[in-house]
A = this chain, B = another copy of it.
Amino acid sequence: MPVVFQNIERADPKLLGDLGAAGVATVHEAMGRRGLMASTMRPIQRDFAIAGSAVTISAAPGDNWMIHVAIEQLKEGDIMVLSPTAPCDMGYFGDLLATSAMARGCRALIIDAGVRDTRELREMGFGVWSTAVSAQGTVKETLGSVNVPIVCAGAQVNAGDVIVADDDGVCVVPRGDAADVMVKAKARLEAEELRRARLASGELGLDIYDMRPRLADKGLKYV
């Protein structure tokens, strides 16, 4: 069953750039509030936003062998997404693997497990979202798979899906939906810009969104 799918389709780089700039909260809304990873998935750095194509890794708990295999599959703009087959907080990934991944054009890792060398990773500018930080080393004994569908931190990820990650977390956009999602995200951003100006001037959401009648209907009482 362990298998490496080598030829995956990726989203257009321009689209990746736009989705990364839009950010997780906007993209998540634009795609109908689907695809968000659990809030336990946290960045090890601040003020870092990115989008890329998912190279997925299904790995045994405490075994990072498949990361070496996955790195060979990386192309410019890819993001590795690793999910262990059972909960594990060990440090699968550190600065050496990041060096190798960066040499192939990969700029980030999403991992439902631990990483180490976090200070070095930040200094290298390699983005990491993980559910743990741990210096605990892993073994290379059990095969897993690369570019198979995985569930990572509660979200379904297929190889080539667009990963959007920033300080708020990580969102997965199915590759086929990415262009459409970006259209909606752009509309949202524009609408937000208008609303931001009105809100900043002191106008209330209660009025902008015309909420008062519905609040009264539902029975809200002011005292």
Contacts and interface: CB of A to CB of B under 8 A. Distances in A.
Interface in A35-84: 36, 38-39, 42, 46-47, 49, 60-63, 65, 68-69, 71-72
Contact of A60 (B1, B132, B139, B199): B139
Interface string A126-146: 000000111111011111000
A116 B25 contact: yes
A97 interface: yes
A70 to B, nearest CB: 10
B119 A47 contact: yes
Interface residues of A, number: 91
Contact of A205 (B85, B97, B114, B118): B97
Nearest to A218: B143
Contact of A86 (B69, B118, B136): B136
A60 to B, nearest CB: 7
Contact of A133 (B167, B204, B205): B167
B2 A89 contact: no
Those 4 A-B pairs whose CB atoms lie nearest each other, nearest first: A141-B141, A100-B199, A68-B205, A39-B134
21 contacts: A2-B218, A2-B219, A4-B220, A25-B117, A39-B114, A60-B139, A61-B88, A68-B204, A69-B211, A71-B204, A96-B199, A99-B196, A100-B204, A103-B199, A103-B202, A118-B167, A135-B169, A140-B211, A149-B156, A151-B151, A156-B156
